[in-house]
Structure 1
Amino acid sequence: MFGWFKKKPARLQPESKWVVDGTGDQIAVSDDDGHRRSIAKRDLYGVAIETNDSGPWGADLWWLLYSADKKLACAFPQGAAGETAMIEFLFALPGFDHAEMTLAMRSTDNATFMLWQKAPDSTA
């Protein structure tokens, strides 16, 4: 009885099919197809946010993590599983630019916002 009243299971958003894990010494990202990319935390050189005009239907905010050779090491969309813990780690980086992050979060344009770069003599 009242079978019509059953709550439908929540559908996963495409972004939540991505998984980011920053436990231990590595940052690892698995995309929605299961492909995995990683970087050692000690090798993290830069953090940026890239925004685009595909929202609200597309993934319009991406976290970009760069290696020392200034190449993209891994990226994940806002809403990825594990994002909250990863962002807490990124916020704790010395010199992380919270004001620039706020600008990025408000952006609906195609733009890139540099939030952090490792200082030349830093071990962070």
Structure 2
Amino acid sequence: MLDWLSKLFGRRPEALPQRRVTSPVCVSHDDKIISVDDGAGSALTLAWAELGNVAVLTTDAGPFEPDLFWILTNRDGRQSIAIPMDARGEHALLVAMQSRLAGFDNMAVVEAMSTTSSGLFQVWPAADLP
């Protein structure tokens, strides 16, 4: 609308950084395994039976960088998988976690998604973790 004014004064509008539409990460699951392909040739798997903890990690990097991540950790705490919330297949994983994990805290997910600061939100701990 005011392009003529910009041209008159010779100032060029600075280009805003573009947000990636989707992450290169792809997550899939079946009845036994959660698989995560990072889009760069690496793949990680975690068995549902070994899942011990689910959290949401938030950063202050948004809105032009991913700033919400699922953190899935196995029962002994030695393996963690980070999945950006804009990964392909992430919504289907959320639905599966909601139905499979008794006590999954949807309100913690909502709280995490509502924050703009860095934090870690506990969504589902296994009751029998050491």
Band of TM-score, shorter chain? 0.7 to 0.9
> 2:120 maps to which residue?
112
Deviations 1:77-123 (A, max 9, x none): 011111111000111210011111110010111100010011219xx
**Deviation for aligned residue 1:24:** 3.2
| TM-score, normalised via structure 2 length | 0.78
Matched length: 110
Given that residues 64 and 72 in structure 1 are in contact (C-alpha distance below 8 angstroms), is that contact kept between their aligned partners in structure 2?
no
| Aligned residue type for 1:69 | D
What is the percentage of aligned positions where both structures have the same residue? 31
Deviations 1:15-68 (A, max 9, x none): 1x1100112310011113121111111000000000001111101000010001
Consecutive aligned runs of 4 or more in structure 1 exceeding 6 Å deviation: none
Given that residues 22 and 88 in structure 2 are in contact (C-alpha distance below 8 angstroms), is that contact kept between their aligned partners in structure 1?
no
CA distance in 2, matches of 1:34, 1:65: 20
Cα RMSD between the aligned structures?
A: 1.8
| Aligned residue type for 2:47 | A
Given that residues 46 and 66 in structure 1 are in contact (C-alpha distance below 8 angstroms), is that contact kept between their aligned partners in structure 2?
yes
Q: Could you say if the C-alpha distance between residues 67 and 82 of structure 1 is closer, same or farther in structure 2, counting changes exceeding 3 Å?
A: same
CA distance in 1, matches of 2:71, 2:49: 16
Q: Could you say if the C-alpha distance between residues 72 and 49 of structure 1 is closer, same or farther in structure 2, counting changes exceeding 3 Å?
A: farther
> 1:73 maps to which residue?
80
Given that residues 37 and 73 in structure 1 are in contact (C-alpha distance below 8 angstroms), is that contact kept between their aligned partners in structure 2?
no
> 1:19 maps to which residue?
26
**Where do 5+ consecutive residues of structure 2 fail to align?**
1-19
